[in-house]
Structures are given as C-alpha cells and as structure tokens.
C-alpha cells in the first residue's frame, strides 16, 4: 500500500494535454490536432477526444450526486480499515 504522503495523480497523457491545449487555442481540425499532438493517425485524436469527453461526463455526473474524490476515498478507507 502506498504511503499516505504520496499523491496519486491521474494525469492526461502528453498527447491528451496537447489536444486540450490546441482546442483551447481554437484548433478544431482533427488533422491539425493529430499533427500538434504527435499522433500518426487522425483516428487517435478521436479516441483521445472520446476518452476525455467520457471522463468529463463521469465527473459531472458525480458532482451532480454530490460525490467527489475525497468522499470516495473516505468511504474506501472505512471499508479497508481494520
């Protein structure tokens, strides 16, 4: 088990972050997004966008139910505590 002081980070891949940054800058052409993210296939851009969209929808659904990551972690700790 990880030390409590360690932080668990679920970060976007560099490609995902490049796509997010490019979209924020106004780029919306999938070919250009693939080029900027260093992806060989435009299909990879669509996969990344789908993944990012699903994650956004998931977090929005949790927020509507008043559930955040602190709530989840607290409940899991209670389940695993001796």
pLDDT in tens, 54-77: 888 988 898 999 998 889 889 889
Answer whether residue 1 is part of any domain: no
Provide the pLDDT for residue 1: 39
In a domain, 57, yes or no: yes
What's the pLDDT at 9? 46
| Structural domain contains residue 44 | yes
Residue 38 lies in a domain: yes
The whole-angstrom separation of Cα 36 and Cα 27 is 10
For 1-82, list the strands marked E by DSSP: none
Q: Is 67 a domain residue?
A: yes
Give pLDDT, residue 26.
93
Q: How many domains does the chain have?
A: 1
What's the CA gap between 65 and 6, in Å, rounded? Answer: 28
The domain in which residue 62 lies consists of 14-80
Whether 8 is in a domain gets the answer no
Q: Which residue has the higher pLDDT, 6 or 75?
A: 75
In a domain, 5, yes or no: no
Residue 82 to residue 60: CA distance in whole angstroms: 33
Q: Is the confidence at residue 16, as pLDDT, over 80?
A: yes
- Tens-digit pLDDT profile for residues 25-47: 999 999 999 999 999 999 999 99
Is 74 contained in some domain?
yes
């Amino acid at each position: 088990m990880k030390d409590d002081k360690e932080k668990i980070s679920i970060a976007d891949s560099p490609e995902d972050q490049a796509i997010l940054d490019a979209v924020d800058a106004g780029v919306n052409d999938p070919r250009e997004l693939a080029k900027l993210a260093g992806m060989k296939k435009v299909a990879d851009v669509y996969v990344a966008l789908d993944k990012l969209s699903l994650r956004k929808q998931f977090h929005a659904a949790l927020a509507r139910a008043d559930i955040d990551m602190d709530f989840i972690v607290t409940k899991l700790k209670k389940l695993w505590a001796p």
